[in-house]
Each structure stands twice: as structure tokens, then as C-alpha cells.
């Protein structure tokens, strides 16, 4: 978590994301992003384990909307949006310590859940 409370979120360049909501497609890319490898989730949250290792990761994630538009609104969270269920596929590679990782090709990945859409929250709610 960043010091300002942001959870696993980083600013990326504008061209890291290509999105066309009319066509129902989007792509997120990262290339050689420097990361910290905390080994496990508890250590990532609490920092109570081994010090993290410097690592890097590259990835491509592609969304393709498949469902109808659903209007979402949560007044408590001050969030509303219009989202479509989607198929999402990804491939990635990473280096951490003595290990290299490479995923199977993008088309071999499996969508568990995905959405693509537009939203307004907080000030824009």
C-alpha cells in the first residue's frame, strides 16, 4: 500500500492503456515494471516476513466485452457506472531472484471474472 493509501495502484503512461468502449475492447500493457517481491500476501500487507526482493514484470491484458450494459450505482461508496461483463486474457513474464517466470500464451489464459466500462466516483458521483 502506498503511503497515501492507494492499494497496489501506480500511475502509468497514457499509452499503457488502449480502450475503445464503443467497440468493447481494451488493452493494458506493462513492460519491465519494477516491483517488490514480498513472497506471500501476508508479508505484502504486514511486512512481517523477509525483506522484499527487487523484481520486474511485463504483461499484456486484453478485455473484450461480451455482455449487455449494466448500470451500477452504490450511493454508500459514491460510485456509479455502466459496465459490461467481459472476457479478459493475459500473458506475462517476470524475473525475481534466481527465477524467471513466463506464462502460457495469452489465448490460453482463462477469465474468472471481468468487466469493462466507464464510471464516476467521489467528486464526480
| Positive or negative: CA dihedral 99, 104, 105, 110 | negative
CB of 50 vs other proteins, minimal distance in Å: 11
CB of 113 vs other proteins, minimal distance in Å: 5
DSSP string for 51-92 = PPEEEEEEEEEEEEEEEEEEEEEETTTTEEEEEEEEEEEEEE
Q: Which is nearer to other proteins, 68 or 100 (CB)?
A: 100
Element (H, E) at 44: helix 41-46
CB of 108 vs other proteins, minimal distance in Å: 6
Amino acid at each position: 500500500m502506498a503511503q497515501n493509501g492507494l492499494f497496489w495502484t501506480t500511475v502509468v503512461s497514457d499509452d499503457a492503456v488502449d480502450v475503445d468502449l464503443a467497440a468493447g475492447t481494451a488493452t493494458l500493457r506493462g513492460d519491465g515494471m519494477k516491483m517488490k517481491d514480498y513472497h506471500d500476501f501476508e508479508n505484502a500487507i504486514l511486512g512481517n516476513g523477509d525483506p522484499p526482493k527487487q523484481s520486474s514484470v511485463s504483461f499484456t491484458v486484453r478485455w473484450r466485452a461480451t455482455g449487455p450494459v449494466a448500470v451500477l450505482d452504490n450511493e454508500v461508496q459514491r460510485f456509479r457506472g455502466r459496465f459490461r461483463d467481459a472476457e479478459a486474457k493475459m500473458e506475462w513474464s517476470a524475473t525475481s531472484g534466481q527465477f524467471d517466470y513466463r506464462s502460457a500464451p495469452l489465448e490460453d489464459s482463462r477469465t474468472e471474472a471481468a468487466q469493462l466500462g466507464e464510471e464516476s466516483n467521489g467528486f464526480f458521483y
